[in-house]
Amino acid sequence: MIEKTIANLEKHNFLVHRVATAAEAKDKVLELIPPGVTVGFGGSTTVAQAGIHDALRAGDYNLFDPYVSGIDPEENVRCRKGGMQAEFYVTGVNAVSEEGELFYLDGIGNRVGAVSCGPGAVIVVTSTKKIVPDEAAAWKRIKEQAAPPNAKRFGAKVPCVETGECSDCESPNRICNLYLRIHRVWDKNRFHIIFVDEDLGF
């Protein structure tokens, strides 16, 4: 399944790397990003668990980092918008299909905006556990396995935090607002996908 997915992603102009561990994923990210460039972040538990945030914060980079503890709302917005125009953008993904497509669910829109168009290069770090057979399975995975734990992580007051299941709610705190399916990318050098064989993220 993994080999088929990688082959189909490569047909769609994604550059794919596969590593065994989170530590190797972090090393690959640092290998891909040269010192001194601007870097933006999209929300990703996988990226955080792999220690990539901390590694980039400790390095020689100009970061648009909305995840720094204690920053005010205005700075958070500035970082989100700045990241959408950074030279590199580092994020995760909610699901990847064997057909070679990426699937995203976003709350505000900076992440889906950035991966679609803006940053010069996008680096996606994801666990191979997020591979699913097709589009229907991708949206099912997002609703059942990704959205509820992410809503809980954000402290959102929505039904799925209590039930563990998506009810397609109309809550004002809903995080399921923007859906994106990426079938193919135009620039073959823009999109790197790093698959990790460890169980990371949601």
Phi, psi of 12 (to 5 degrees): -95, 15
Return all residues near 74 (Cβ < 8 A) that are at least 6 apart: none
- Encode pLDDT of 94-103 as tens digits: 999 999 999 9
Phi, psi of 158 (to 5 degrees): -135, 155
Say which amino acid occupies 111. Answer: R
Q: Which tokens in the block code for residue 93?
A: 């993904």
Domains of the chain as residue ranges with CATH: 2-104+114-131+182-196 (3.40.50.10420)
| Contact of 12 with 184, CB cutoff 8 Å | yes
Check whether 151 has a pLDDT greater than 90.
no
- Encode pLDDT of 156-188 as tens digits: 989 999 888 888 899 988 989 999 999 999 999
Residue 1 CA neighbour count, 13 Å, CB half: 12
